[in-house]
Structure 1
Amino acid sequence: MADDPYKVLGVKKDAAADEIRSAYRKLAKKYHPDLNPGDKAAEEKFKAVSLANDILSDPEKRGRYDRGEIDAAGAERAPQGNWRNYAGAGAGAGPGGFGGFEDIFSNIFEQRAHGPARGQDDRYSVKAGFLEAVNGGTKRITLPDGQSLDVKIPPGTTEGDVLRLRGRGQPGRGGGPAGDALIEIHVTPHKLFRREGRNIHLELPISLKEAVLGGKVTVPTPAGDVVMTVKPHTESGTELRLRGRGVPAHGHHHAGDLHVKLRIVVGPADAALEEFLKGWDQPSFDPRAGLGAY
């Protein structure tokens, strides 16, 4: 039997949605199977945390759980009989306004009968590359019955996002609807790009010649390479912004930007450069000038 989802996530019953999301992501990262290979206890913890989040992150399910309509596993609860349900006046009522015993037991059994119930949700974990998550893509997962399922990853997907595939979970009971398949996405880091919200950051090495004289440089972006102009006398650490070259627009989200930080790399020095620097009388300067007291 599943534990109380509030206790599993360690939040109060009046916790806000962002508190629940934060608690879930912290625990999911701690117990994720990829970080605890072969640890069955951690795997069970991860399943319990995912199940608790599935209920509490869905306002409808959370409300039904709080009202006692579904249990901690998300399954339908049978209605509970109560003697007050049978109080009332009318023909055939017994002493005190109660109906006959036959009517009472008939109603009790009718309420407690197992009607149609929704099937349980199945949970999966999928790794997506950085660019797959940014641009969108398709991943194939294998279901327990051996069937394959193509999962469409929408553009702008972030670490820990959960995709819901309606009706691809466990079959319902007594004619009830099937549960859903919940796919949690884990994004692998990229060697060049770093994401902050809808924007992407990149550190781009440029040569000393490009920094001093300026010129055209090729810049990698999530959607492919573009050419950018570097102005003459550019300092190392200069940051340029390419509008709309970050996370692409999707749904009601606007496109993000690509922030490019330039880093001057001298590279291997040849004899000509060495000879030039020997005769170069560079003006002296204090790199700390203008910074004030520290």
Structure 2
Amino acid sequence: MSTSNTDTAKKHGTGFDFFDFMYKYGTLILIVLLVIFFAVMNQNFLQTSNLINILRSISIVTIIGVGITLSLSVDGFDLSVGSVASLANAVVISMFVWYQQPTFIAIGAGLMAALAVGALNAFMIVKVRIPDLLMTLATMFIIQGVALTYTRGATISENMIMSDGTYAEGQISPFFEKLGQIPWIIIIMFVAVIVVHIFLTYTKHGRYMYVIGGNKEAARLSGIPVNKYKVLAYLLSAIFAAIGGMVLASRVMTAEINAGGPYLMDAVAAAFIGFAVLGAGKPNAIGTFVGAVLIGILANGLVMMSVPYYAMDIVKGTVLALALALTYYKLK
């Protein structure tokens, strides 16, 4: 009798499904468990200053991650975002230091450079039909080379020595400097998440992108301009990568070689972890933010526990693999 009732409950969707529960709430539960663990191991973990530090540390990852989320929404994948962030980082600082340009021209130049990369990706993927992953992988290396050539392999900073032996006279504007400071860096992150969430969830354009990601041929037969929205996705992905790169430039006040590269894998992981948050089953901005929070808490906690840097990637990778395994077990 009890077996029959259980079967009937499952049939009508009233039984408890452990894997479905973990799929929806596993990431959030893992975050809570990590917070409790790190708080027990180090009493300073839950201090307000440290929590703000975690939010600051995930800001750039989240901004770049929501760009990846947009490309994933049309069943694409933009691996070039790290290089685009590096390029925008170099361009915006060089506009200040080398060419003494005002803030909005410097920021505009960084965005235009990123849009050029996004347009290249979109053209080669949509028109030439190169697979997304392969094209953006190629673009990643191309843009790395372009950024290195542009900076001549040097770090761009105020008062740097130029090739002719003189010192750079340009100064980074105080307004731009504030963008990488608390609270503005955190505000920019939240604005990016909210804007992308509203765009994907509540506008017809976002819904069209989800339809394309779910079934491209069905979208085309429904009259949705698939190519147009794929182009839009890659342009938006490049824009958010550029914003992340410029926020990074504001935070460190220099343009380092391949500055955006280290953010690529964390941003990718955050976007993919986001699939499972609250059972979304698709790329979404809120999920990407939660994925970034998981990564940020893990990294911060390991540092506070004085885990050697060469072992951190093992722990970090294991936890991320478990989270992704939960996501894809359900998706299959």
Q: What range describes the TM-score normalised by the shorter chain of this pair? A: under 0.3
Larger relative contact order (CA 8 Å, sep ≥ 6): 2
Q: Which has the higher helix share?
A: 2
Which has the larger strand fraction? 1
Please, what TM-score do these two structures have when normalized by structure 2?
0.22
Q: Which protein is bigger by CA-based radius of gyration?
A: 1
**TM superposition score normalised by structure 1:** 0.24
